[in-house]
């Protein structure tokens, strides 16, 4: 009986420790679709883009804002069909500052897009962003 109690206590402590490890992750990553015209879907010729923010706690001195240590790899679908293959490395992001990449809708790529990003630092996965929706006409 004592062994069962000891085993149950070990499982409970392990679950608590793993929950605390996730709760204290130093990285928080967010993604936002940006349309300066304020429209979604975005019409041909209008600007659109994505803003990525990687917030983290680093116990060393903060890197200068010009350094972008995080690789941002986008994943997602167009009209429900995966269209990024194994991901598109379209940008790097600085630490604790949002980074926005803008482009224009050239036409011919209409659809409903879902995007999320996986964030890497020194080749190691650190976090995943939320998923955003953006339409192009």
CB 43 within 8 A of CB 134: no
With respect to residue 16, please indicate whether it lies within any of the assigned structural domains.
Answer: no
Structure-block tokens of residue 90? 């379209």
| pTM score of the predicted model | 0.77
**What pLDDT does residue 95 have?**
81
Q: Quote the pLDDT of residue 90.
A: 85
For residue 7, is it within any domain? no
Instruction: Name which of 104, 102, 134, 94 is nearest 116 in CA terms.
Output: 134
- 34 token code pair: 């940006």
Residue 39 sits in which domain range?
25-136
- 10-residue averages of pLDDT along the chain (137 residues): 42 39 73 94 96 83 75 96 90 89 94 96 93 97
Q: What is the pLDDT of residue 100?
A: 93
Residue 57's pLDDT is 74
**Torsion (CA) 29, 12, 14, 5 in degrees, nearest 10:** -170
Domain assignment of residue 11, yes or no:
no
Rounded to an integer, what distance in angstroms lies between the CA atom of residue 91 and that of residue 126?
16
Residue 13 within a domain: no
pLDDT at position 104: 95
| Residue carrying structure tokens 């993604």 | 31
The rounded distance, in Å, linking the Cα atoms of 68 and 91 is 9
Task: Kindly report the CATH number assigned to the domain that includes residue 104.
Answer: 2.70.50.30
Q: What is the pLDDT of residue 86?
A: 85
How many domains is the chain partitioned into structurally?
1
């Amino acid at each position: 009986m004592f062994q069962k109690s000891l085993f149950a206590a070990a499982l409970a402590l392990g679950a608590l420790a793993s929950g605390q490890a996730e709760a204290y992750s130093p990285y928080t990553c967010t993604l936002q679709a940006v349309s300066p015209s304020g429209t979604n879907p975005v019409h041909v010729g209008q600007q659109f883009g994505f803003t990525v923010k990687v917030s983290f706690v680093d116990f060393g001195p903060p890197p200068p804002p010009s350094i972008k240590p995080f690789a941002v790899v986008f994943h997602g679908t167009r009209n429900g069909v995966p269209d990024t293959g194994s991901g598109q490395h379209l940008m790097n992001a600085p630490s604790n500052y949002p980074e926005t990449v803008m482009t224009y809708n050239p036409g011919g790529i209409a659809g409903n897009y879902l995007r999320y990003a996986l964030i890497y630092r020194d080749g190691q996965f650190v976090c995943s962003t939320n998923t955003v929706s953006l339409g192009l006409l």
